[in-house]
Structure 1
Amino acid sequence: MLSNFKKSIKAVALGTAFAFGVAMLPAVSKAEPVEWSMATPWSGGHWIDVGAKQFAELVETLTEGRVKINVFPAGTLGSALKVTESVQTGVAEVGHNWPAYDWGIDRTGVIFGGWAGGLTPEEYLLWLYNEGGAELWKEWRMELSDVVAIPCGVLETEIFLHSHKPVRTLEDYQGMKVRTSGAWAEIAANMGASTVIMPGSEVFSALERKVVDGIEWGGPGINTSAGFHKVAKYIVTPGVHQPSGAHECMFNKDAWAKLSEHDQNMIEVAGRLMTLNTFLAYAKDDIDGFAFFQQAGENEMVVLDPSFISAAKEASDAWAAQQAKENDWFKRAYEHQSAFQKKVGDWQKFRLPIGNN
């Protein structure tokens, strides 16, 4: 997929730029070439290969080699969960990040990064580029973190649980020890689960050794390669805790200012292209991954009862309402996203659901 993507990138870039409403401006002025370092929270896998590295390749192509980005794995350029700090301080000029990792600084990051009451992958594309979500994101990052940020990846709907016990109802969930992260760590606790936060490197082992009863991680594609289905019998869907999410690419403000306007525009185009490419890549992997789960016969597929889904929605709304009372930026982003959700509610009245025809 990567080689084919690279071969056609110039044609795709031009077409997609106009489709997204971004002008491919002539290079009126060109700054000197730069070589930057990118900090990431990823030790390997999809998010560094399909996300960070492809973005770096796109930037180099679209800027005609004037901006070269070297991608480094988690922990190389500062703490894995403090990518924003690495970019702020100039340890890295660029970061590839999930904004909810800045949970301890500002919980608004979950609205942009993905949460239980948030958007599906399709809705993310519409909200970011039709409704001003990307501009709001950039404004939030600049005001709170003093970095330039653009969306550069749309994520999949996750598997709700790889679990040692079936979960269908709220009663099944009570007292269950679950590895999770972000907003769901608090929302799930409010629903009666016992939540555990741990580094990604420990998740498989914790599930295998039954340190936890269940874990959430990613969509079927990523989870297949992680092998969670080999150590836990039950696969629970749908992923009400994380309907989707988004990644950001952030830039040190001083480094960004040294670029020409043309190259800044091309980097913005690269971010938009990556939201599309990740949407396509993760969707393909997830369709294949879920088919594997169903056909392999090693696991029991479990579907959450509608009563659980309703309870999760209610708990998520209550959690967000409380955050909005305490945080002006959270309130602004939450209300902006919620207004779009109400607007897009008519979608189902004139568009058939994916896979329904």
Structure 2
Amino acid sequence: MDRRSFFRTAGQASAGAAAATVLAAPAIAQSQPKISWRLTSAYPKSLDTLYGISEQLSKRVSEATDGNFTIQPFAAGEIVGALQATDAVTAGTVECAHTLSSFSIGKDPAFAFDTSLPFGLNTRQHISWLYYGGGRELVNEFMDEYNIHAIPAGNTGAQMGGWFRKEIKSLDDLQGLKMRIAGLGGTIMSRLGVVPQVIGGGDIYPSLERGTIDAAEFSGPYDDEKLGFQKVAPFYYYPGWWEGTANVMLAINKDKWNELPKQYQALVEAASSETMSHCVAKYDARNPEALYRLVANGAQLRPFPQDVLQAALTESRKLYDEYAASNPKFKKFYDSWLPFSQKQQVWWRVAEIPFDSFASASAGQQQQQQPQQ
């Protein structure tokens, strides 16, 4: 090849490469358009796990798209109140929210299934029902009416039974007691004589301090410690039978979800799955340490009396049957959830519970046998 031919060929190749680059750039830009969303959380910034999942989701989405898709999180009260997050998504005030579906049971008790049912599934079982038991499909079919696409995005694990200003020794001590408790747990407690109150997380402490309420449940030791409940209500009860799990929903305005490019939708799904894993792991790591500190600072651990637990269990079963008989949406959920739950309990009685019980008892024996320092 002579010198002229060489440079002519090289020039053609360079021009072709430049043209390819010019053509590729718009294609990339179209596949990753600039999109900016706002996310309202139902939680204050002081709750670094429940609010932290919003920050984590935002960070991951932005990193994965080189800043082309951003989700700006806002704490409860910065745009709307903690209990208005779902309504804000439905109305399009914000594109998405991290919240509990159970905050909306006043509209329809079927909202509870996305979060949890009292005396129901534990965290692993609930996630299993959502992903492999048909739960997610049922949730999103139900959420269509509210213009919401729901994605599981976090979980507290099993919660505690809450903080009480006075000791609960029997079912009689619940009569007339004013308690902050959300979801169907509040409905069941009302049948036991409690006066349930629905209050956002940031307003619970002053309500306890002023005596506006007599008791409050919120989450577990790690979150409860941050909110300082032990200073105004020393009796800390367990188990939190109304929330053996609590799924946090990423509620997305359905119109905005449908407008997203498929790759952005896939990214939001993946990022939500990651926040779920981190949320559960962080609570499992932090709750034991926080419980030790709470007890050291004056919290008095108490188990709920057996008559309280038995009465609550009985009323919960009655309530579900009543709802299923009168509410077709609740029944559709319940017909899926109940047999799944029953099969799960059989399996856990065979494998999980015996292992956990033996391992827990063995750990207790080892602690007793350790020499005192």
TM range, smaller chain: 0.7 to 0.9
Greater alpha carbon shift after TM alignment, 204-213 vs 76-85? 76-85
| 8 A contact 1:31–1:258 mirrored in 2 | no
Query: C-alpha offsets along residues 72-106 of structure 1, whole Å, 9 cap, x if unaligned?
Result: 22234345422233223322122222112222322
Q: Report the Cα offset of residue 139 of structure 1.
A: 2.2
Residue identity in the other structure for 1:300: Q
Cα separation, 1, equivalents of 2:235 and 2:50: 28
Helix, strand or coil at the partner of 1:167: coil
In the alignment, structure 1 segments of 5+ residues that lack a partner are: 1-26
Verify: 1:283 aligned to 2:284, yes or no: yes
| 8 A contact 1:87–1:94 mirrored in 2 | yes
Helix, strand or coil at the partner of 1:44: coil
Which of 59, 62, 67 is matched with 1:60 structurally? Answer: 62
Match in the other structure for 2:243:
242
Relative distance call for 1:104 and 1:303 in structure 2 (3 A) is: closer
Match in the other structure for 2:356:
353
Query: C-alpha offsets along residues 25-44 of structure 1, whole Å, 9 cap, x if unaligned?
Result: xx9x8241211111222232
Helix, strand or coil at the partner of 1:249: strand
Query: C-alpha offsets along residues 130-169 of structure 1, whole Å, 9 cap, x if unaligned?
Result: 3232232222212x21222111111232221211222243
Match in the other structure for 1:222:
223
Match in the other structure for 1:101:
103
| 8 A contact 1:208–1:231 mirrored in 2 | yes
Cα separation, 1, equivalents of 2:248 and 2:297: 33
Verify: 1:340 aligned to 2:343, yes or no: no
Greater alpha carbon shift after TM alignment, 275-284 vs 210-219? 210-219
Which of 81, 86, 89 is matched with 2:88 structurally? Answer: 86
Residue identity in the other structure for 1:278: C
Cα separation, 2, equivalents of 1:186 and 1:127: 24
Cα separation, 1, equivalents of 2:243 and 2:169: 17
Cα separation, 2, equivalents of 1:110 and 1:215: 19
Residue identity in the other structure for 2:208: L
| 8 A contact 1:119–1:245 mirrored in 2 | no
Match in the other structure for 1:38:
39
Cα separation, 1, equivalents of 2:272 and 2:95: 16
Relative distance call for 1:117 and 1:334 in structure 2 (3 A) is: farther
| 8 A contact 1:112–1:246 mirrored in 2 | yes
Relative distance call for 1:328 and 1:59 in structure 2 (3 A) is: farther
Query: C-alpha offsets along residues 309-340 of structure 1, whole Å, 9 cap, x if unaligned?
Result: 22211111111221222221111112322222
Q: Report the Cα offset of residue 119 of structure 1.
A: 2.2
Match in the other structure for 2:305:
305
Instruction: Map residues 15-34 of structure 1 onto 2, 5 A cutoff.
Output: 30-34=31-35
Percent identity between matched residues is 24
Cα separation, 1, equivalents of 2:86 and 2:297: 43
Match in the other structure for 1:23:
none
Match in the other structure for 1:13:
none
Helix, strand or coil at the partner of 1:81: helix
Query: C-alpha offsets along residues 228-265 of structure 1, whole Å, 9 cap, x if unaligned?
Result: 11222211111112222111112222322232212211
Relative distance call for 1:62 and 1:323 in structure 2 (3 A) is: farther
Relative distance call for 1:180 and 1:282 in structure 2 (3 A) is: same
Cα separation, 2, equivalents of 1:231 and 1:76: 27
Helix, strand or coil at the partner of 1:108: helix
Instruction: Map residues 313-324 of structure 1 onto 2, 5 A cutoff.
Output: 313-324=313-324
Cα separation, 1, equivalents of 2:324 and 2:65: 40
Helix, strand or coil at the partner of 2:189: helix
Two-structure CA RMSD over aligned residues (Å): 2.3
Relative distance call for 1:209 and 1:57 in structure 2 (3 A) is: same
Q: Across the two proteins, how many residue pairs are aligned to each other?
A: 329
Helix, strand or coil at the partner of 1:70: strand
Cα separation, 1, equivalents of 2:260 and 2:32: 6
Cα separation, 2, equivalents of 1:205 and 1:85: 26
Relative distance call for 1:154 and 1:170 in structure 2 (3 A) is: same
| 8 A contact 1:168–1:302 mirrored in 2 | no
Match in the other structure for 1:10:
none
Verify: 1:264 aligned to 2:265, yes or no: yes
Match in the other structure for 2:274:
273
Cα separation, 2, equivalents of 1:166 and 1:207: 15
Segments of 4+ moved more than 4 angstroms: none
Q: Which has the higher contact order (CA 8 A, sep 6+)?
A: 1
Cα separation, 2, equivalents of 1:133 and 1:64: 33
Match in the other structure for 2:112:
110
Residue identity in the other structure for 1:353: D
Match in the other structure for 2:329:
329
| 8 A contact 1:117–1:317 mirrored in 2 | no
If you compute each CA radius of gyration, which structure gives the higher value, 1 or 2? 2
Relative distance call for 1:304 and 1:168 in structure 2 (3 A) is: farther
Q: TM-score, normalised by structure 2?
A: 0.81
| 8 A contact 2:43–2:201 mirrored in 1 | no
Cα separation, 1, equivalents of 2:109 and 2:330: 7
